[in-house]
Structure 1
Amino acid sequence: MGEKRSLDRRIARTRVMIFDALLAIMQKQSYAEISIVDIADKANINRSTFYAHFVDKEDLLEQMITHNLELLKESIRGAESYNLSESAVNEPDPIYLALFQHAFEYSLFYRVMLLQTTEGGFRQKLQEALRSSFFQRLTKLGLEQKLHVPQELLLDYVSLSSCGVLERWLDGHQVYSPHHMALQLTRVASMGIYRSMGIHA
């Protein structure tokens, strides 16, 4: 049993090492130009080791995206049941906080996949993951019948706007902390656009 755990850890470490190698190369080179040899050399492995883990570089990219999205979903898990009261503007929504903390921890991945390439469709997959998290909140809290706008529009708005703000934050070299960014989005969500602008009904 201990040997299996040790083997599993070695496999996981090797895979992450290959993920990191691909990201490092993608910072300087377009994905289309990257070869398996480039990746293997950067990861300091031979090609047979690469092929023991991945079918090709497309499989590598897809598995890297899936791996990071699973980590994000795991960090969000439980936050879907969080009931944000209308006056709660001093604590960040845990979904927003998990998103920005994860992007901070894995900033190289997010920078490359959101700012430098469209390969792999990560942006859309991230939007879908956030959309799913907010949808689960609606259903877990029984809010579907209380909506003031169409559900599809609301979910599109929160997921697309969150991704847009995240991209600007990454592009601006993450000047503000994840907590600060999550809190600002929470305040906009809680107060609404017009109140956030200082316009009062």
Structure 2
Amino acid sequence: MDDASDRRINRTRSALKSALVELILEKGYGSITIMDIANRADYNRGTFYKHYLDKDDLLAAIKHEILRELSDALLAPYEGLDRVDADKIFPSTLRLLQHIELHKDQFVAMISANKDFYYDIYNMLHNSMMNDMHIVIKETKEQIDYEIMLSYRMSAFVGVIMYWVETGFKYSANYMAEQVLIQVNRSLDYIEFNNPG
């Protein structure tokens, strides 16, 4: 296959993905037909079926692309490094959040169409932290279970992403990354109760 053909395929797939995202935001995933997607992308049904089995297959392709790009964003700043101090993780956090901010329509559409998408993000982060890196914790008297610690931290980070998306991206990616770094490197002092006794 030559470069021109590759570019044409990529253009077609990109147009179909964009069409589906736009339509989800406009009318919801359930009511979208293949004809809707093809018309919006300015192709015919036959062209759609050359690339995807159905709209679920197209949605899965969008999800796969988002998760791959998030994984790349997480690791890219540290290529070639053996380690990075915990207070220096800002670049990867920022890149990951900037990627979400840049593709916010895709995220909102994906969450609208697939309620398990946050869990997919969690799995991607968890797998990356298990396979591509290892968190080293300062020695303490208490024994810390690595799996529980990792689950806690990844769930917290996905919770921050959920909050950000659900509030309509009211803060910048930079602000969110700064806040995440503060949370990662701070310990609780104590908890006050609003209605004691």
Q: Does TM, normalized by the shorter one, top 0.5?
A: yes
* Separation in 1, partners of 2:28, 2:167: 22
Whether contact under 8 Å (1:93, 1:186) holds in the other structure is: yes
Runs of 4+ in 1 over 6 A off after TM superposition: none
- Residue of structure 1 equivalent to 2:194: none
- Residue of structure 1 equivalent to 2:113: 117
Question: Does residue 106 of the first structure (1) align with residue 103 of the second (2)?
Answer: yes
* 3-state SS of paired residue (2:123): helix
Question: Does residue 130 of the first structure (1) align with residue 125 of the second (2)?
Answer: yes
Whether contact under 8 Å (1:84, 1:93) holds in the other structure is: no
Quickly say closer, same or farther: Cα 1:73–1:58, change in 2 above 3 A. Answer: same
Aligned residues: 186
Whether contact under 8 Å (1:97, 1:182) holds in the other structure is: yes
Whether contact under 8 Å (1:92, 1:186) holds in the other structure is: yes
Q: Which amino acid aligns with 1:189?
A: V
- Residue of structure 2 equivalent to 1:15: 13
Alignment deviations for residues 102-146 of structure 1 (CA, whole Å, 9 cap, x no partner) = 1011110111223x2335x322111111112333321xx6x3896
Q: Which amino acid aligns with 2:90?
A: D
Quickly say closer, same or farther: Cα 1:196–1:177, change in 2 above 3 A. Answer: farther
Unaligned runs of 5+ in 2: 192-197
Whether contact under 8 Å (2:118, 2:162) holds in the other structure is: no
Q: Which amino acid aligns with 1:22?
A: L
What is the TM-score of this pair, normalised by structure 2? 0.82
Whether contact under 8 Å (1:101, 1:178) holds in the other structure is: yes
* Separation in 2, partners of 1:176, 1:15: 31
Percentage identity across aligned positions? Answer: 26
Unaligned runs of 5+ in 1: none
Whether contact under 8 Å (2:76, 2:92) holds in the other structure is: no
Q: Which amino acid aligns with 2:53?
A: V
- Residue of structure 1 equivalent to 2:151: 156
Question: Does residue 187 of the first structure (1) align with residue 185 of the second (2)?
Answer: no
Shift of 1:196: 10
Shift of 1:15: 0.8
